[in-house]
Amino acid sequence: MTPDTFKLLFSRDQIEQRTRELAALISNDYHGRHLVIVGVLKGCFVFMADVIRNLDLDVTVDFVQIASYGAGRESSGECTLVKDLGIDIRGRDVLVVEDIVDTGETLACLIDELQQRSPASVRVCALLDKQCCRRAEVKVDYFGFAVEDVFVVGCGLDYDERYRALPGIYALPPE
């Protein structure tokens, strides 16, 4: 069920097409290497499943969870690792997969943490990049779509834990 007030930004077909393009780029860049894919829960799970099934690479998959947003629309600006990796990334090529990069604070916090573990490399793949709204400087190496400063849901993204299962990506009406 999609509320009538939600505006479709990217359809399922558009997301699948763009995901295949990103996966081809990543497969080419990491050709012949074993990649550790680190998903940032919970929002990553739909996009990450789409990406890994389109990669032509040998991958290991793990997850972290970072507390940043509260129940509403605003970022808290704070960051806590509430679920850690179960694997050692020392000397490994790591690709962090996010649903959205907004202020960049979640990603900056995670990358700092991962770098302390001496990986061979860390890159970032995000479905959505809200470039307008950065507060922390982070590099998004692969992104699906740029979005304006609107609150988005669907394809893993929630509002107050709802709408993650919507197949497309929608903008909520302004408050």
- Minimum CB–partner distance for residue 113 and ligand PRP (Å): 13
Which among 24, 89, 80, 82 is positioned nearest to 60, based on CA atoms? 89
Give me the least distance between CB of 79 and ligand PRP, in Å please: 7
The site for ligand PRP (CB under 6 A) is made up of 40-43, 68-69, 75, 98-107, 158
Distance CA 140, CA 158 (A): 21
Angle at 70 between CA 64 and CA 73, to 5 degrees: 115
Closest CB 43 distance from ligand PRP, rounded Å: 3
Shorter beta-carbon distance to ligand PRP: residue 48 or 100: 100
Rounded to whole angstroms, the Cα distance separating 11 from 86 reads: 34
The string of DSSP letters for 51-83 reads HHHH--SEEEEEEEEEEEE-SSSSEEEEEEEEE
Residue 9 beta carbon to ligand PRP: minimum distance, rounded to whole angstroms: 16
Instruction: Quote the CA–CA distance of 68 and 38 in Å, as a whole number.
Output: 17
The separation between CA 48 and the C-alpha centre of its own chain, rounded to angstroms, equals 8
Nearer to ligand PRP, 74 or 88 (CB): 74
Nearer to ligand PRP (CB atom), residue 6 or residue 47: 47
102 a catalytic residue: yes
Closer to ligand PRP by Cβ: residue 57 or 140: 140
Q: Do residues 75 and 99 touch, judged by C-beta distance below 8 A? A: no
Which residue of the set 84, 102, 141, 158 is catalytic? 102
Report, as residue numbers or ranges, the catalytic residues: 102
